Structure 1
Amino acid sequence: MIVSFGDATTRTSEVQLVRCNQGLNLWKLHQVHSIYKLVIHDLMSVEEANSGIDAILAQKNLYPPWVCVLLYGFCSSMVTPFAFSGDWINMATSFFIGTCVGCLQFIVSQRSNLYSNVFEVTASIVVSFCGRALGSIPKSNICFGATVQGSLALILPGYIILCGSLELQSRNIVAGAVRMFYAIIYSLFLGFGITLGAALFGWLYHDATNETTCAKHVSPWFRFIFVPAFSIGLALINQARWTQIPVMTFISCCGYVVTYFSGLHFKNSTEFTSAMAAFIIGILGNFYSRIWKGLAVSAMLPGIFVQVPSGVASQSSLLAGVQSANEITNSSSSSEAATADLSSSMSFGITMIQVSIGISVGLFASTLFVYPFGKKKTGLFTL
């Protein structure tokens, strides 16, 4: 975990690398921010603040791991229809495979530090292999593309991108650039795992499906249910308290509305739609912080998490490795195949760069809109 400490007197910053398991707990983040504001306004001493932070760290999570695993499957099923055009059958398969990914993340990786280093690759391999196997069942109507993307939606680097954007905005160039670069490499890991999993099943079963688009779709009107449900599930997975959820859900839904309608008008423009949605999310989050004195970052996180799968889905780059998998299985060695393999492997990373740029620009513009002269008493929009 990378932490940047700024010194206003010397106008310098110090970056510390903390070796620990990085996670996100929205309720504890809210409590720490409350203590931070009390210290800034001289309502609490530093010693009392240290004791309060120690007490917060000693608290148990609001929801145990097995609940998070079930919520993981629930969110995977909710994101499948509105982001990846899946139908009702694909929602069920995404719930099953997403629950398996949740077990790997919340149970297996928490018990093994060695496995946590390769969690992304192994999860994408398992999801791609199982998704292609289920999609290859004759007359099953299971869409390989929607199932795989929906099951992997929650491990896309949305939180890393948001942290990197906020670090860059607060002039912490080193920490922000490292996070952004890590998000891109993380995306390439996922793309490699999808390619490898699809290639393994294609090698075992020569009639494996190659369809990455779904023939049947759920009515768009159901998005009024799926998007709020996905936002609520995301908030609960990240240990948000029920009192925080209404604001998070409202901001997330507003951001998705902007993404949906701007995507209809500006097709294949991921960075532009992401920037517009992030601008609205940032404005609402900053107004929430300015008027109701809440924490803008925690309120915006589910909204940013919704933007990342939407941006990836607009380019279908997460499944670009299927073509590479077919070429690997068929032992193609032509120069055209090698060029296509390289471009398809890099397309997911390029899409994440576009999403990162769009979110960063949108958040910058929203902060400038709400705080044109900055904040004097507390930090601006940072973690």
Structure 2
Amino acid sequence: MDTKEFIQIRRFILKLGKMLHKYGTPSFRLEAYLDEVARYLGVYASFISTPTSLSVVIWSDRHEEEYSHNARLDPGELDLNSLSLTDELANLLLSGQLTLEEADKRLSAIDAMPSPYGKLITGCSYGLSTGAFGMLMGASWSEILWSGLFGLVVYLWVLWSERSKRVTLMLEPVAAYVVALLACFASRYADPGINIPLIVLSSIIIFVPGLALTMGLAELSSRNMVSGTARIMDAMMQLFKLYFGAYLGVATGFSLFGENTYAPEPSLPYWSTWLAVLLLAFGLVAIFRTRAKHIPWALLSAFIAYSATALSSDYLPQNLGSFVGAFTLGVFANAFTRFANQPATIVAMHGLIVLVPGSKTYIGLNSFVSGQDFVNAEHIGQDVFIIFMSLVAGLIFANVVFPTKKAL
């Protein structure tokens, strides 16, 4: 291998790694995928990925050429559209349909690509997802409406954070503070008796890091100790920031507008739960930037995960039902990779959002600090721990019983 070819290969691998990191790929999947690409391109490589860095060492067969690179990166965010396009590009390269030079140009084009849904649809998706989560948590119709409206407020802060680095640094606590303040205002002048903490949780649910906690535990189970620990600690700090912002906002609102007395309303019918799952999955399509051709798969994954959990809970303890849901979801996602030749993450994330107990973690933190529960949640700490373990175990068992053909 001559020097020019080696330079071209390592530039492509490095760019591919940084892009996959940017799109929120878990470390153990990123490292395995890059290793496959490197071996196909005829070089040896070693990769170490964490949520905030990527280290790469590449060398030729007889060490005629060797290259090392360490990069400090921002934590990635899920972009399933770019992830899918990048994987398709890598497949074309590995099948010989593209040259390295052509693949490198297309990578740059994918990296510069905006969201396929635009800001208006994405904003509506925030309102739809937050309202649907409130419905899933048993909120009343008025509380669902407030959750959706405040979800739009949260999206305005997200848009501002894209233009201001200072807002980015304080996005989660400030958004939670503003939502909590608005909820107190609404309870005083528009809709007395609403469940303020539930509305606040539903409105900021996009920020609650249940998925990040699950990914961190999955990385720890795959022996990616540094990445898993870092991801879990980052998720915990994000959770603390969210709760502090909400706690401060409610305290300020009660001081300005007076305290709210919660007046429970009749529960919604059982069918509303399934409607909530559908609306939540639809809302996540634009937020996760899922490609149009993958939308049916994504919606189906959410229903499969939730229905498997709900049905198994009739025969198992409810928190162990998550194991069955995660196992079923894992098998479905791995089957998707064989059928569509796309990363399992594309459909698995929609199902995991329905399963992960990020909201229960927030509720448990509220119970610990205030000593009050705003939903019926006994033994919340034990439930959260068992559900997290059940999710990770279910995904591991699924990969053993029906392994995926792709590292992503």
Sort the TM-score into its range (normalised by shorter chain): 0.7 to 0.9
Q: CA deviation at 1:293?
A: 2.2
Q: Which has the higher contact order (CA 8 A, sep 6+)?
A: 1
User: Which of residues 279, 302, 308 in structure 1 aligns to 2:350?
Assistant: 302
Residues 1-383 of structure 1 correspond to what in structure 2 (within 5 A)? 5=31, 12-15=46-49, 16=54, 18-20=72-74, 22-82=76-136, 84-105=137-158, 107-136=159-188, 140-161=192-213, 163-165=215-217, 167-168=219-220, 170-209=222-261, 211=262, 214-263=264-313, 270=319, 272-308=320-356, 312-313=359-360, 316-317=363-364, 319-320=366-367, 323=370, 355-371=387-403, 375=405, 378-379=406-407, 382=408
User: What secondary structure sits across from 2:292 in the alignment?
Assistant: coil
CA gap of 1:199–1:315, structure 2 versus 1, over 3 A, is closer
Q: CA deviation at 1:184?
A: 2.1
Native 8 Å contact 2:80 2:289 kept in 1: yes
Code of the residue aligned with 1:227 in structure 2: it is: V
Higher alpha-carbon deviation: 161-170 or 143-152: 161-170
Q: Which runs of 5+ in 2 are unaligned?
A: 1-20, 55-70, 374-378
Native 8 Å contact 1:125 1:194 kept in 2: yes
What is the distance in 1 between the residues matched to 2:251 and 2:96? 60
Percent identity over paired residues: 22
Q: Which runs of 5+ in 1 are unaligned?
A: 327-339, 341-346
Q: CA deviation at 1:110?
A: 0.7
What is the distance in 2 between the residues matched to 1:138 and 1:67? 28
1:261-316, Cα deviation, whole Å (9 max, x unpaired): 4456656x64x3433322211111011112332321111111111223x5635984
What is the distance in 1 between the residues matched to 2:266 and 2:208? 25
CA gap of 1:177–1:42, structure 2 versus 1, over 3 A, is farther
What is the distance in 2 between the residues matched to 1:182 and 1:355? 20
What is the distance in 1 between the residues matched to 2:128 and 2:234? 27
User: What secondary structure sits across from 1:198 in the alignment?
Assistant: helix
User: What secondary structure sits across from 2:48 in the alignment?
Assistant: strand
CA gap of 1:55–1:166, structure 2 versus 1, over 3 A, is farther
What is the distance in 2 between the residues matched to 1:53 and 1:177? 30
TM-score by length of 1: 0.79
Q: CA deviation at 1:25?
A: 1.8
Q: CA deviation at 1:104?
A: 0.7
User: What secondary structure sits across from 1:13 in the alignment?
Assistant: strand
CA gap of 1:140–1:199, structure 2 versus 1, over 3 A, is closer
Code of the residue aligned with 1:109 in structure 2: it is: S
Q: CA deviation at 1:55?
A: 1.6
Native 8 Å contact 1:187 1:349 kept in 2: no
1:99-148, Cα deviation, whole Å (9 max, x unpaired): 1011111x111111121111111112222232234335586452223312
TM-score by length of 2: 0.75
What is the distance in 1 between the residues matched to 2:313 and 2:359? 12
